[in-house]
Amino acid sequence: MVAAEVEIDVALVRALLAAQHPDLADRPLRVVAEGWDNVLVLLGDDLAVRLPRREAAAPLIEHEQQVLPRLVERLPVPVPAPVRRGSPSTDPPYPWSWSVVPWFAGHRAAAVPRWRRRRLAGPLAAFLDALHRPADDAPVNPVRGVPLTTRDEAVRRRLADPRVRHADRLERVWQDALAAPVHDGHALWLHGDPHPGNLVVDDDAGLAAVVDFGDVTAGDPATDLATAWLTFDTAGREAFRSGLAHRYPAGDPVWVRALGWAVAMATAMVVDSSAEHDWLPPLGAAALTQVLADS
User: What distance lies between CA 258 and its chain's CA centroid?
Assistant: 15
| CA pair distance 118, 242, nearest whole angstrom | 12
| Residue spans of alpha helices (H) in 21-151 | 58-71, 121-131
Predicted pLDDT of residue 3: 80
Long-range contacts of 2-11 (CB under 8 A, 24+ apart): 2/36, 2/54, 4/34, 4/39, 4/53, 4/54, 5/53, 5/54, 5/55, 6/52, 6/53, 6/54, 6/94, 6/95, 6/96, 8/34, 8/39, 8/41, 8/51, 8/53, 10/41
* Secondary structure class of 207 (helix, strand, coil): strand
Predicted pLDDT of residue 273: 81
Q: Note whether 98 and 16 are within 8 A (CB).
A: yes
pLDDT along the chain (295 residues), means of 10: 87 98 98 89 98 94 96 96 97 98 95 96 98 95 97 98 98 98 97 96 94 96 98 98 98 98 97 81 97 96
Is beta strand 47-52 parallel, antiparallel or unpaired with respect to 38-43? antiparallel
Predicted pLDDT of residue 95: 98
| CA pair distance 247, 289, nearest whole angstrom | 26
* Secondary structure class of 12 (helix, strand, coil): helix
Q: Is 43 exposed, middle or buried (0-12, 13-18, 19+ CB in 10 A)?
A: buried
| CA pair distance 71, 86, nearest whole angstrom | 20
Question: What are the start-end ranges of the E strands in 15-162?
Answer: 29-34, 38-43, 47-52, 84-86, 89-90, 93-94, 98-102, 107-108
Give residues with Cβ within 8 angstroms of 149, minimum separation 6: 178
Predicted pLDDT of residue 275: 67
